[in-house]
Amino acid sequence: MFYREAGQFKTGYADDMAVFPIRQDRIGIAVILAIAYLAVPMFGSPFFVSTIMIPMLILTMAAIGLNILTGYAGLISLGTGAFMGVGAYACFKLATAFPDVNVLVWVLASGFFSAAIGVVFGLPSLRIKGLYLAVATLAAQFFLQWCFVRIGWLTNYSSSGSIEAARRSLFGVQITGPGASETARYLCVLTLLVALTWIASNIVRGRIGRKWMMVRDMDIAAELMGVRLLPTKLLAFAVSSYFCGVAGAMLLFFHYGSMESIAFNIELSFQVLFMVIIGGLGSLIGSYLGAGFIAALPVVIKFAPQILGIELPSAVVDQVTVMIIGGLIIFFLIVEPHGFARLWQIGKQKLRVWPFPY
C-alpha cells in the first residue's frame, strides 16, 4: 500500500539509471543505514556485535568479491579462502613494517596484493573454462596455503606460525589489536563495507560490469563484438580478489586478532561460495542476504531448540548446519537459481501491485 511509485516521474536517463530509482527504496536504505550505524552499536549486546555482526559483514565483503567473479563474470573459484589469506598476510606485513601509517590504509592496500596474485592465477582462464578453471583455482588454494606455512618471512618468523593484529587507533580510538572495543571494530568494518559496496555497484552497473556479463552469458558473441576476453576476465579476477583480500585483512584485524594459516583453508572458500549461491549469483543484495543467512543459521539452530527446552550438543549443531546448508544449496539451484535476491525482487513486485495479484 505504501510501496507505490505512482507520481514519481523520471525526467532524464540519469534518474532512470540510479541505484534506487524509487523513493520508497531510498527511504528504506536510509533506515537500514541508520539502524546499522546507530541502533546496532547502541542496543546490540557485545556478544551480538562481535560474534555475529562483525564476521557477517566481513564475509559479506568476501561474498561480494566472489560474486563479482562467479556471478557477474561467470568464472568459478574455489580459491577464495587463499585469496583472503593473501590480504591478511599482506596487511600483517605492511602494518608491522610501517607502523606509523594508519592501519585502515593498509587494510585497503592489502587488497592490491591479493588482486595481483588473483591475476596470476586467473591467467589460465584464457584457455580454460568452467570445471577446468575450478581446478586452477584449487591449485591457488593449496599452493598459497602451503606458502603461508612454509615461508617464515610472511609471519615474521613467528614460532607459533600465527599472525597477529597489533594495537592501532584512529582519531585516538583504538580500533585493532587486543582491547579494541567491539563497537569501534564494528563501525570500521561497516564503513569499509558500505564504501566498497558502493564502488562494486558502480562497477557492475557500468561498462565494465556489462562486459563481464557479456563474457558470462555468451563469450563467443562477446568476442565477436569486440570484447577482448583475457583482459576482461583478468580484471574480474583482480577486482574480485581485491574484495576478498580486504575481507581477509579485516578478518585478521577486526575480528580474530590472531590467525593461523589453517583459517584460510578450503572450508572458508566453500563457505563464501555457498553464501554466493544461496544469496543469488550476480546480485550484490544477494551477497548480503546469503552471508547473513549463513552466519545466522548456526546460531538459530543452536538456540532455537533451547527455547523449546532441548539441549543439542555443539557437534550435532555443526553437523545439522552443514546438512541444512547443503540441502538448501540443492533446493535453491532447483527452485530459484538466483537465490534470496530473486525472492526479494519477487516480494517487492508483489508489494508494488498489492492487493492485486498482477
Of residues 304, 316, 351, 353, which one binds another protein by CB under 8 A? 316
Q: Which stretch binds another protein (CB under 8 A): 49-57, 105-113, 157-165, 310-318?
A: 310-318
Identify which of residues 75 and 175 has a Cβ nearer to another protein in the complex.
75
By beta-carbon proximity to another protein, the closer residue of 256 and 274 is: 274
DSSP conformation class of 69: I
Contacts of 180 (CB under 8 A, 6+ apart): 167, 174
Per CB under 8 A, 343 contacts another protein: no
> Residue 250: is it exposed, middle or buried by C-beta count within 10 angstroms (0-12/13-18/19+)?
buried
Told to check if 142 binds another protein by CB under 8 A, we report yes
> What is the end-to-end Cα distance of the chain in Å, rounded?
14
What is the spatial distance between Cα 189 and Cα 181, in angstroms, rounded to a whole number? 13
**Distance in angstroms (rounded) separating the CA atoms of residues 106 and 113:** 11
Burial 332-350 (b: 16+ CB within 10 A, else e): beeeeebbbbbbbeeeeee
Binding residues for another protein restricted to 181-210, rule: CB under 8 A: 199, 202-203, 205-208, 210
Q: Which of residues 5-64 bind another protein (CB under 8 A)?
A: 12-14, 17
> Per CB under 8 A, which region of 33-41, 48-56, 247-255, 328-336 contacts another protein?
328-336
Write down the least CB distance from residue 130 to another protein, Å: 5
Residue numbers 78-97 binding another protein by CB under 8 A: none
Residues touching another protein, count (CB under 8 A) = 72
Query: Could you please report the per-residue DSSP string of 269-296?
Result: HHHHHHHHHHH-TT-HHHHHHHHHHHHH
Please choose, out of 104-112, 212-220, 250-258, 287-295, the segment that lies near another protein by the rule CB under 8 A.
212-220
Residues from 254 through 283 that contact another protein (CB under 8 A):
266, 270, 273-274, 277, 282
Residue 116 vs 138, nearer CB to another protein: 138
Q: Give the distance, in angstroms, between the CA of residue 329 and the centroid of all CA atoms in the same chain.
A: 18
Which residue, 202, 161, 167, 203, is CA-closest to 184? Answer: 167
Residues 217-256 that bind another protein (CB under 8 A): 217-218, 220-229, 235
Nearer to another protein, 1 or 14 (CB): 14
The CB-of-80 to another protein minimum distance in angstroms stands at: 13
